[in-house]
């Protein structure tokens, strides 16, 4: 097969395979969402995991076949298509792994919905949905640039992935069951983009919300948060870039608009209090700014910002969906916007706003719009024709399509009005040149015509005037004004053509070489800033840029030892590069005066040379940067340097070294690393990004080390003192630790694989720490998995592999910077566990930095002797876990096939299941009572290190624990005393203050915090108070229920478990929590439960909850209820609890049991419970095993099983530990009330 035939096959076959997979994926998502609407005990009809696995395996075999590369590399387009095929295959492999997991670990068929939900959780389905959407969008872009068949395009367009989650919650239970039984036995295929599988528009997508919102509606705090969430989601990051980058061109610009002697003075009085005005800066910017989707988002963002009450009416379905999400789900949610939805939303806004407001839209740069010009013309004409209260002001260059469409409308020739500004600019600058000024004086008429021609050629674009005037001045050596006019005529009037003219048309090869170098230097610096989480290269100084530009000529004159650069050298070097920017780059890249960097100038008044060196280098305008970013322009710019030894990252790295050797400021050694850190960061980043790793990492970075050692005032009293040592954490943490080679450790953290490999080959003594030293391997894995904003790259498997192959021990004990005993292997396991808890591992992440990278690192550790039975100790966030348990947890949650293989490797190497790991004690009791006890003082003190004790003035007892981040967020008034040294928060009211006085002070602080919407827990404000007791049982104050966990106080609740005894034996009435509950949605629960508010007795609360949640009458409860006991535990809230995780919640639960007559059936009365069902003891145990119960309801079940002899010391090895965790002694004041 020839290369042409091969590429033709790829462009034809790859899209077909991907579309085929996407169609299967859409149907699978639909079935899974349908299953998640079923009740747990319902059988899943027409679901055969084995058969589905077989069918998908056949598809995987087809889509997994890549293309041979013997003929040569693929074209860019075909490579993109083949990459999509490979990504689809990887996604399909994860689906197959999920099915294999169900087959291996799940019960025998037929499966029930609850079992399948456990193995295929909703979060995974959402992840698959997002992945399918992403692949669909990528394929749409890929096939838009190649000739694909009509069938493929139609198949792609038929992929709809918008789903409705409506369920008939308001129907009685039996009617719900009947309706569900009458549904088609085949699960519905849900859709992604507004149509169902038949192509009919989804009616639900545009169904109005039930609640009517007006400008007088009082929105709840939760609704206000949703408003802000959707408003932020509609925005995009570059939306205001152009507006914020506008600079002043001339001091008389737009004077005409404010001149009272002009007819346009009416502009000053034009205003309307009922007008909504909006605009879009839509010039040559990012694609999202120039697209129709970007236009709609920009308009909606600004319109809705002025009338937020319309957000629910403009996005009815999104509003209902987001409103139903928990805070955690909302934070995780990602929103993609499609044009039809945005167009409908804008028209909906105009419909609703028209009742009371006039709308005026200002759209700038319509000629730069990247979409269908005819389509956008029709849209705005339709807006004006359909809505009498809408006016539109459009700005564009006179393109025929816009002139034809809007030529008969009132119009303003803006370039005629800004003409004066441009005339002033051109005239002032031409007169400023002595030789040209002399010619103008000699022929004023020709000069006037010249200036008019300049302004006419601009077509209203000021940038064009500025660049062309500078071009005229740059050429010089004119003999007459007519000669200037002749040269003016050579300049194209289109901006892109003008840029091309400057850079390419008349440039010699030598000039192109210089231009290419300068351009690549700016691009490389931009890459380095992006890699270190900085967005632009605005801090590139002229001294930095000039040294990178001329380093070959400069190197021969550079001394070995550091000394301040001379004034003459700085000016000479900077002026050379500045002249190149002006000449070869035609002023498109400029150096402009800016604030002086403290890293360059520390003392005294800066000299002219220092001011020049600190000038900033940047593109003259954003349109220039966009022009240089165009693929065909980049190719032409890079072409002259092909085959040369020039490497921009090498040049910029060399420049940084030269800046340290020849600083602009006076040199003296010191120990201040902060001023040098920005350049150190860039140097290591350029070294990593460079294509020439040997030169950058083995030659230049060690030279940087040598020079920085001259800057560093080393102290002999400090063992292994080095400048790099000061970059590891704070002084207090590192002062007692040994760093055998801090420079090499820093290089490893920055991912310099070649340098680390060469150093470890020569000398492996640095691999090992002894005593309290940190081994090199420990530094390499610090960024194993993280989504934090960080300057360091993710841990590199290549570096880790090299170090392990050099003899590093993955089980070597050491003490980390926090004083914690570790081994590299345990750190890997701990970081994996943290990444899972913090949701840093993404479902269906097939990227190179995703879960496959993690699996490679774990595999390397196991290959080189990591302990297969390594054990993590318990922390305040996690239970203790073995290596096998951590790897198994990742596999079961994400169905990653690589981690399935790692499980097998661990077992082959001798990993064993811990005894009792899967018993109820481990799964539930320890999960509920999961805060460390006083028997674990070291771990406990670490868990409390960032907590503050909550106290009340006049009371000696600690009343709760508050996390440090909560202390920093709450708006404390003067009535509070915050002691950061003692880590305490004290309500400093007088000791004689009443409970009401204290409660008011607390509520004021919480209300102030709540208004800022920075703590999600406070969004669930209930106006329900919980008591806080003192040591003598006195009520010290009352606190809003949703804030109780923020202060870590003891809370109280009641739980009721109802059961029946009949011919089928003992059965329990188990409730299923609503899927819309913010906490533990869809999980199993006791029959009735609730908080014990201030002033209520336990039995009173129980009667109330039994009536509200289970429709049980007060008479039945009073007559038959029996108290079991009171459970006490200390819980640390996790993600499923809703709100912030890690909060402390010590709790006492008064538990009751109630035997019901079989004829009495609990029925839901509120929205908290979805349904009730009788569970046999076997079903209860099964549900416990598979984690279907809410944790604190599970321990009530466990207590019931103990009380009825089902769980006892003979059949449960951990019986005594279970009992101790059910009745923990709490460390805060508590009040135990009588159960009746």
Grade residue 149 by pLDDT with cuts at 50, 70 and 90: low
Residue 618 has pLDDT above 60, yes or no: yes
Give the model's pLDDT for residue 194.
Answer: 32
Task: For residue 324, give the nearest of 1074, 927, 1169 by alpha carbon.
Answer: 1074
Residue 3 has pLDDT above 70, yes or no: no
CATH number for the segment(s) 1050-1222? 3.90.79.10
Give the model's pLDDT for residue 198.
Answer: 30
pLDDT tens-digit map of 203-218: 333 333 356 677 777 7
Least reliable range by pLDDT among 198-202, 960-964, 1143-1147: 198-202
Give the model's pLDDT for residue 400.
Answer: 80
Torsions phi, psi of 1147, nearest 5?
-145, 150
Between 190 and 649, the more confident residue is: 649
Distance from C-alpha of 980 to C-alpha of 983, rounded to nearest angstrom: 5
Strand 1065-1073 and strand 1051-1062: pairing?
antiparallel
For residue 994, the SS3 value is coil
Between 87 and 146, the more confident residue is: 87
Distance from C-alpha of 1151 to C-alpha of 248, rounded to nearest angstrom: 73
Give the mean pLDDT of 357-380: 79
Residue 513 has pLDDT above 60, yes or no: yes
Grade residue 112 by pLDDT with cuts at 50, 70 and 90: confident
Task: For residue 588, give the nearest of 539, 622, 637 by alpha carbon.
Answer: 622
Give the model's pLDDT for residue 743.
Answer: 92
Task: For residue 563, give the nearest of 711, 701, 705 by alpha carbon.
Answer: 711
Give the model's pLDDT for residue 181.
Answer: 39
| Contacts for 211 with CB less than 8 Å, ≥ 6 apart | 312
Give the mean pLDDT of 28-45: 85
Distance from C-alpha of 572 to C-alpha of 577, rounded to nearest angstrom: 9
Between 591 and 248, the more confident residue is: 591
Give the model's pLDDT for residue 929.
Answer: 80
Task: For residue 727, give the nearest of 789, 673, 791 by alpha carbon.
Answer: 673
Distance from C-alpha of 263 to C-alpha of 280, rounded to nearest angstrom: 27
Give the model's pLDDT for residue 1074.
Answer: 83
Between 101 and 1137, the more confident residue is: 101
Least reliable range by pLDDT among 35-44, 138-147, 672-681, 756-765: 138-147
Least reliable range by pLDDT among 78-87, 155-164, 741-750: 155-164
Distance from C-alpha of 379 to C-alpha of 303, rounded to nearest angstrom: 17
Task: Confirm if 1185 and 1154 have CB atoms less than 8 A apart.
Answer: no
Give the mean pLDDT of 249-266: 51
Between 77 and 394, the more confident residue is: 394
Least reliable range by pLDDT among 733-742, 837-846, 856-865, 1061-1070: 733-742
DSSP string, 258-307: G-TTSGGGHHHH---TTEEEEEEE-SS--HHHHSHHHHHHHHHHHHHHH-
Residue 1134 has pLDDT above 90, yes or no: no
Give the model's pLDDT for residue 653.
Answer: 95
Give the model's pLDDT for residue 993.
Answer: 92
Give the model's pLDDT for residue 192.
Answer: 30
Residue 41 has pLDDT above 90, yes or no: no
pLDDT tens-digit map of 482-506: 999 999 999 998 888 999 998 888 7
Give the mean pLDDT of 543-565: 85
Task: Confirm if 17 and 63 have CB atoms less than 8 A apart.
Answer: yes
Place of tokens 């295959």: 89
Least reliable range by pLDDT among 38-42, 381-385, 754-758: 38-42
Segments making up each domain of the chain, as ranges: 3-204, 221-242+272-411, 417-444+454-494, 519-675, 946-1045, 1050-1222
Beta bridge partners of 359: 276, 390
Q: Is the dihedral of CA 1216, 1218, 1221, 1223 positive or negative?
A: negative
Least reliable range by pLDDT among 324-328, 453-457, 1212-1216: 324-328
Task: For residue 53, give the nearest of 101, 5, 108 by alpha carbon.
Answer: 101
pLDDT tens-digit map of 1119-1129: 999 999 999 99
Give the mean pLDDT of 47-56: 89
Residue 472 has pLDDT above 50, yes or no: yes
Give the mean pLDDT of 20-42: 87
Grade residue 185 by pLDDT with cuts at 50, 70 and 90: very low
pLDDT tens-digit map of 884-897: 999 998 998 999 99
Distance from C-alpha of 692 to C-alpha of 645, rounded to nearest angstrom: 10
Residue 1186 has pLDDT above 90, yes or no: no
Strand 390-394 and strand 358-364: pairing?
parallel
Least reliable range by pLDDT among 146-160, 221-235, 602-616, 1088-1102: 146-160
Residue 410 has pLDDT above 90, yes or no: no
pLDDT tens-digit map of 780-799: 998 998 766 578 899 999 99
Place of tokens 């002006």: 582
Grade residue 251 by pLDDT with cuts at 50, 70 and 90: low
pLDDT tens-digit map of 685-727: 999 999 999 999 999 999 999 999 999 998 877 777 889 888 8
Find the length of the chain: 1236
Residue 367 has pLDDT above 80, yes or no: no
Task: Confirm if 1153 and 1055 have CB atoms less than 8 A apart.
Answer: no
Least reliable range by pLDDT among 184-188, 290-294, 397-401, 668-672: 184-188
Between 1200 and 238, the more confident residue is: 1200
Grade residue 162 by pLDDT with cuts at 50, 70 and 90: very low
Between 1008 and 10, the more confident residue is: 1008
pLDDT tens-digit map of 902-949: 999 999 999 987 754 444 444 456 667 877 665 555 555 666 777 999
Least reliable range by pLDDT among 555-559, 933-937, 975-979: 933-937
Q: What is the pTM of this model?
A: 0.63
CB atoms within 10 A of CB 341: 20
Task: Confirm if 289 and 242 have CB atoms less than 8 A apart.
Answer: yes
Over its C-alpha atoms, the chain yields an Rg (Å, rounded) of 35
Task: Confirm if 1134 and 1036 have CB atoms less than 8 A apart.
Answer: no
Place of tokens 């530094």: 779
Give the mean pLDDT of 533-556: 78
Instruction: Please state, rounded to an integer, the average pLDDT across all residues of the chain.
Output: 81
Distance from C-alpha of 519 to C-alpha of 286, rounded to nearest angstrom: 19
Give the mean pLDDT of 623-634: 86
Give the model's pLDDT for residue 379.
Answer: 84
Give the DSSP H or E segment for 192.
Answer: none
DSSP string, 997-1058: HHHHHHHHHHHHHHHHT--GGGGG--S-EEEEE-TTS-EEEEEEGGGHHHHT--EEEEEEEE
Q: Determine what percent of the chain is predicted with pLDDT higher than 90.
A: 36
pLDDT tens-digit map of 166-180: 433 333 333 333 333
Give the model's pLDDT for residue 1169.
Answer: 87
């Amino acid at each position: 097969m020839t290369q042409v035939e091969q590429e033709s096959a790829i462009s034809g076959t790859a899209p077909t395979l991907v579309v085929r997979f996407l169609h299967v994926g859409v149907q699978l998502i639909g079935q899974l969402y349908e299953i998640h609407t079923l009740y747990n005990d319902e059988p899943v009809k027409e679901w055969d995991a084995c058969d589905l696995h077989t069918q998908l395996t056949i598809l995987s075999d087809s889509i997994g076949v890549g293309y041979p590369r013997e003929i040569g590399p693929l074209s860019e387009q075909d490579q993109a298509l083949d990459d999509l095929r490979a990504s689809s295959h990887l996604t399909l492999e994860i689906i197959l792994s999920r099915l294999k997991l169900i087959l291996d670990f799940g019960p025998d068929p037929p499966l029930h919905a609850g079992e399948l939900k456990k193995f295929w959780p909703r979060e995974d389905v959402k992840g698959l949905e997002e992945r399918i959407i992403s692949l669909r969008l990528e394929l749409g872009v890929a096939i838009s640039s190649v000739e694909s068949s009509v069938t493929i395009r139609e198949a792609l367009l038929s992929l709809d992935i918008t789903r409705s989650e409506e369920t008939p919650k308001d129907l009685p239970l039996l009617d719900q069951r009947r309706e569900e039984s009458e549904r088609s036995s085949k699960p519905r295929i849900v859709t992604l983009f507004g149509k169902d599988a038949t192509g009919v528009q989804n009616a639900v997508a545009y169904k109005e919300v039930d609640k009517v919102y007006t400008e007088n509606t009082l929105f709840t705090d939760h609704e206000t948060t949703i408003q802000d969430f959707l408003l932020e989601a509609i925005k995009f990051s570059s939306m205001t870039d152009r507006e914020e980058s506008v600079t002043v061109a001339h001091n008389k610009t737009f004077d005409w608009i404010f001149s009272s002697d002009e007819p346009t003075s009416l502009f000053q009085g034009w205003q309307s209090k009922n007008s909504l005005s909006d605009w879009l800066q839509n010039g040559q910017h990012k694609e999202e700014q120039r697209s129709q989707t970007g236009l709609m988002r920009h308009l909606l963002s600004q319109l809705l910002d002025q009338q937020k009450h319309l957000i629910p009416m403009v996005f009815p379905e999104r509003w209902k969906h987001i409103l139903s999400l928990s805070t955690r789900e909302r934070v995780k949610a990602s929103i993609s916007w499609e044009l039809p939805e945005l167009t409908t939303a804008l028209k909906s806004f105009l419909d609703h706003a028209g009742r009371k407001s006039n709308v005026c839209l200002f759209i700038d740069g319509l000629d730069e719009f990247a979409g269908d010009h005819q389509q956008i013309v029709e849209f705005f004409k339709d807006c004006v024709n359909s809505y009498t209260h809408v006016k539109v002001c459009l700005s564009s260059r006179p393109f025929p399509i816009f002139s034809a469409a809007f030529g008969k409308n009132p119009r303003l020739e803006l370039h005629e009005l800004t003409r004066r500004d441009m005339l002033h600019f051109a005239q002032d600058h031409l007169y400023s040149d002595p030789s040209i000024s002399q010619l103008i004086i000699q022929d004023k008429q020709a000069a006037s015509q010249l200036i008019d021609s300049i302004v006419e050629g601009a077509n209203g674009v000021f940038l064009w005037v500025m660049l062309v005037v500078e071009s005229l001045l740059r050429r010089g050596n004119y003999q007459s004004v007519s000669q200037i006019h002749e040269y003016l005529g050579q300049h194209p009037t289109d901006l892109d053509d003008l840029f091309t003219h400057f850079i390419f048309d008349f440039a010699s090869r030598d000039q192109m070489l210089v231009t290419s170098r300068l351009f690549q230097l700016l691009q490389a610096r931009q890459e380095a800033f992006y890699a270190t989480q900085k967005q632009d290269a605005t801090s590139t100084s002229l001294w930095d840029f000039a040294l990178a530009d001329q380093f070959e000529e400069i190197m021969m004159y550079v001394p070995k030892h550091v000394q301040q650069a001379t004034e003459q050298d700085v000016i000479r070097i900077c002026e050379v590069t500045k002249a190149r920017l002006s000449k070869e780059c035609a002023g498109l890249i400029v150096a402009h005066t800016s604030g002086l960097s403290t890293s360059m100038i520390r003392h005294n008044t800066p000299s002219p040379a220092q001011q020049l060196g600190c000038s900033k280098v940047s593109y003259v305008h954003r349109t220039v940067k966009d022009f240089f970013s165009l693929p065909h322009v980049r190719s032409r710019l890079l072409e002259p340097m092909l085959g040369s030894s020039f490497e921009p990252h090498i040049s910029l790295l060399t420049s940084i070294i030269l800046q340290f050797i020849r600083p602009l400021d006076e040199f003296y050694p010191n120990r201040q690393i902060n001023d040098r850190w920005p350049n150190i960061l860039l140097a290591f980043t350029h070294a990593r990004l460079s294509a020439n790793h040997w030169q950058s990492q083995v030659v230049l970075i060690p030279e940087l080390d040598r020079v920085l050692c001259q800057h560093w005032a080393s102290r002999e009293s400090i063992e292994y003192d080095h400048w790099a040592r000061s970059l590891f954490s704070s002084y207090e943490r590192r002062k007692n630790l040994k760093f055998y080679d801090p420079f090499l450790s820093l290089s490893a953290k920055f991912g310099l694989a070649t340098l680390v490999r060469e150093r470890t080959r020569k000398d492996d003594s640095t691999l090992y720490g002894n005593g309290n030293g940190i081994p090199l391997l420990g530094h390499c894995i610090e960024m194993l998995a993280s989504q934090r904003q960080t300057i360091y790259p993710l841990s590199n498997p290549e570096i880790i592999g090299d170090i392990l192959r050099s003899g590093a021990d993955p089980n070597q004990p050491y003490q980390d910077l926090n004083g914690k005993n570790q081994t590299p292997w345990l750190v890997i396991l701990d970081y994996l566990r943290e990444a899972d808890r913090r949701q840093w591992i993404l479902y269906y992440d097939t990227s190179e930095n995703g879960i496959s990278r993690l699996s490679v690192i774990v595999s390397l550790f196991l290959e080189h002797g990591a302990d297969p039975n390594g054990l993590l100790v318990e922390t305040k966030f996690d239970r203790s876990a073995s290596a096998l348990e951590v790897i198994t947890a990742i596999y079961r949650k994400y169905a990653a096939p690589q981690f399935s293989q790692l499980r097998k490797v661990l077992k082959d190497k001798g990993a064993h299941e811990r005894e009792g790991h899967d018993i109820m004690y481990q799964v539930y009791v320890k999960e509920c009572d999961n805060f460390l006890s006083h028997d674990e003082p070291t771990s406990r003190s670490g868990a409390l290190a960032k907590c503050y004790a909550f106290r009340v003035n006049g009371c000696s007892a600690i009343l709760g624990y508050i996390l440090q981040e909560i202390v920093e967020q709450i708006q404390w008034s003067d009535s509070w005393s915050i002691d950061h040294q003692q880590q305490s928060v004290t309500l400093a009211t007088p000791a004689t203050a009443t409970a009401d006085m204290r409660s008011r002070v607390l509520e004021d602080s919480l209300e102030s915090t709540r208004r800022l919407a920075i703590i999600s827990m406070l969004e669930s404000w209930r106006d329900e108070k919980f008591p806080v007791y003192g040591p003598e049982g006195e009520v010290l104050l009352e606190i809003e229920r949703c804030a109780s966990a923020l202060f870590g106080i003891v809370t109280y609740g009641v739980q009721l478990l109802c059961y029946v005894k009949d011919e089928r034996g003992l059965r329990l009435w188990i409730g299923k929590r609503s899927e819309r509950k913010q906490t533990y949605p869809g999980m199993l629960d006791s029959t009735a439960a609730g908080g014990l508010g201030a002033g209520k007795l336990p039995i009173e609360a129980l009667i109330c909850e039994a009536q509200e949640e289970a429709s049980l009458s007060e008479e039945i409860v009073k007559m038959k209820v029996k108290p079991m006991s009171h459970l006490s535990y200390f819980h640390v809230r996790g993600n499923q609890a809703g709100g912030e995780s890690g909060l402390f919640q010590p709790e006492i639960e008064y538990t009751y049991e109630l035997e019901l007559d079989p004829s009495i059936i609990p029925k839901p009365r509120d929205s908290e419970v979805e349904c009730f069902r009788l569970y046999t003891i076997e079903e209860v145990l099964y549900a416990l095993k598979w984690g279907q119960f809410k944790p604190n309801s599970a321990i009530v079940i466990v207590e019931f099983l103990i009380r009825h002899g089902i769980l006892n010391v003979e059949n449960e090895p951990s019986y005594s530990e279970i009992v101790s965790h059910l009745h923990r002694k709490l460390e805060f004041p508590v009040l135990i009330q009588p159960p009746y």
